[in-house]
Amino acid sequence: MFKLFKCSTCSLSDRFFSELEQCQPKSEQFEHVNNLNKIMLDQWFGKPFWFTLGALVGGFLLSIAVFHNLGEGIFLAVAGLGVLALTIWRLEYGLLAAFAELFANSHGHLVSTEVFGFDLSLREVIFLGVMLGWLVLLVTRKTKLQIKDNRILIFLPLFLAIVIGYAVGFAQNEAGKAFNDGNGYFYLAYLFPILSVKWDLIKQRQLLQVMAAAAIWVTALTLGLLYLFTHLSGEALVSIYRFIRDTRTGELTRMSGVIFRIFLQAQFSAIIFALLIAPWLWLKEISKKTRIHLVFILALLISVALISLSRSFWVGLIVAAVPFIVLIISLLKPTVKRFASSSGLAITSGIAATIILAVVTLFPIPYRLGSLTDLTWLFSSRTSDLGDVAISSRWNLLPEMWEEIKTAPLLGSGFGEEVTFKTDDPRARSISPDGTWTTYAFEWGWLDLWLKMGLLGPLAFLWLFYGLLKGLLRDEVRLERNPSEVELSSTKVDKSRPAWLTIGLVSGLFMLYATHIFSPYLNHPLGLGFILFLVPFINFSLAQRKVTKETLPLYLRPSTKAVEPSSAAWLANSLADSVEQK
């Protein structure tokens, strides 16, 4: 992708370390490597990460304090006004707050209250704050509506499909059910303020760190719940269970003895973060110490995917592994030895994840209720038992959905369309003993799109997939050397995207679309939010500019030892630009 410079004494190609040894004294080599590893850690765990993590933890603790009392309304009012002010001050900060809440909270109901008979949630308050702030900026001409941005084109078929879904739904089904069924798609309105922001490398790095903070918080919450539910008695867990259930944070299901399944829909963000940092294991600039840190972080994230017991997540990861491996080989071009050793580290992360779960479950303080046998049985049964109630209920639903789709295959039956089928879910059978269940919320994600928005629904999402994939895989920067200047033949230097980021984002996109086969994510704010999360990283249409070698960041100047932009160069550029702006 890049053509790097050559100095007068050696070739500065992508073989960084071998060339570096020829060009630098040993002391400078070690200093450079240490600085490089520090920069790579700063990529994920800088100030935006810690600020976001602190805000998420503080918000969660406050939500416990105001749970089911008058403080809920006060909390929402303060949050809404705060996000409004934040958005008017800096539009991207309001969007970062929205992404932080989205990736950290499963359904956005961490705090909610009833207003005039309507259930107002934290996610909705943040949405209103950001959109109102954006409108204020539009009216005051401090930002622009980017209706000519070519990234809108890949969303147009989906917008049309949503209109059809609502039009048919309001015409044929109950208006309340139609609105509630399709209101998740309103999250796509964030596309317009996102396009109003110029996402330079500094803002992109902030966005990535917000994702990282949310993923780490979800990981900590998951492991914390696992510890509590394997170490406390039933009486002590009643209030915890009620809080998690009523805020729709997750699903806690007793599986065996005292072993619980800890499933949070927001665990999706932990898996995405794992796909984003995993490619770093294959970067040749990474030191052994940093690789150990990466293995530990990956192990924590993988442990979340395991204890979720979500076969939909597992299928998504298996599918994502294909583009992940292909892009690792094609973009990073590791040697056979490096590929094998790094793959071994990835496998080590998986093994360490199981150890983490065992340690949390069997930790003897204050006393443990679970056993290693229970934990082993949990995973073996989940992978081998294909006749459990979740799978049988899905298969019972499948023919009934097909029959409904056949009645209106082109335009669909609209949002709010219900299907009646037989379920084996004990929660449903406690209400309907014969298992007859009628609902408009379905597990077959792609069939759900077809049923409610017609054939255009799934086709629109496939078109969106194609557009996002094309935008992520396009070569964004090509550098050419002239005697007096460096000319960019495509876009600005500060818009370069490193290979590890491309690998992570593309793999995450595949994971999302595969997971939606069995669990609805594309019609959920989490899935739609991740699609919007990709927008700042794709398809920039910026004017060509010329840059002299003196204005280039240090890592690209001919007189310095260039680093392959697939790793720390991207971050170093953003840091250099940040200093210039200050």
Alpha helix stretches (DSSP H) within 90-121: 91-104
**What mean pLDDT is predicted for residues 111-136?**
93
**Confidence class for position 192, pLDDT limits 50, 70, 90:** very high
**Confidence class for position 100, pLDDT limits 50, 70, 90:** very high
Distance set, CA 427 to CA 55, 261, 436 (Å): 35, 16, 12
Higher pLDDT, 235 or 240: 240
Alpha helix stretches (DSSP H) within 24-120: 26-44, 47-65, 71-89, 91-104
- Compute the radius of gyration of the chain from its Cα atoms: 25
Quick one: residue 195, left, alpha or beta (phi over 0 = left, psi -120 to 50 = alpha)? alpha
Backbone angles phi, psi at 120, to 5 degrees: -95, 125
How is 286-342 classified by DSSP, letter by letter? --HHHHHHHHHHHHHHHHHHHHTT-HHHHHHHHHHHHHHHHHIIIII---HHHHHHH
**Confidence class for position 109, pLDDT limits 50, 70, 90:** very high
**What mean pLDDT is predicted for residues 186-210?**
94
State pLDDT tens for residues 482-507: 323 323 222 233 345 788 999 999 99
Higher pLDDT, 190 or 384: 190
Q: How far apart are CA 413 and CA 450, in angstroms?
A: 9
**Confidence class for position 31, pLDDT limits 50, 70, 90:** very low
Residue 524: count other Cβ atoms within 10 Å of its Cβ: 20
Q: Which of 268, 253, 251, 380 is nearest to 313 (CA)?
A: 268
Q: How far apart are CA 304 and CA 313, in angstroms?
A: 10
Residue 148: count other Cβ atoms within 10 Å of its Cβ: 9
Instruction: Report the range of poorest mean pLDDT among 45-49, 313-317, 554-558.
Output: 554-558
Q: Which of 302, 219, 269 is nearest to 106 (CA)?
A: 269
The structure tokens listed for 569 are 């160069």
Q: Is the pLDDT of residue 204 over 60?
A: yes
Q: Which of 512, 400, 385, 534 is nearest to 445 (CA)?
A: 512
Q: Is the pLDDT of residue 236 over 90?
A: no
Distance set, CA 468 to CA 153, 251, 326, 448, 536 (Å): 11, 32, 18, 22, 11
Helices 456-473 and 156-172, interaxial angle, to 10°?
A: 160
**Confidence class for position 466, pLDDT limits 50, 70, 90:** very high
**Confidence class for position 428, pLDDT limits 50, 70, 90:** confident
Q: What pTM value is reported for the model? A: 0.83
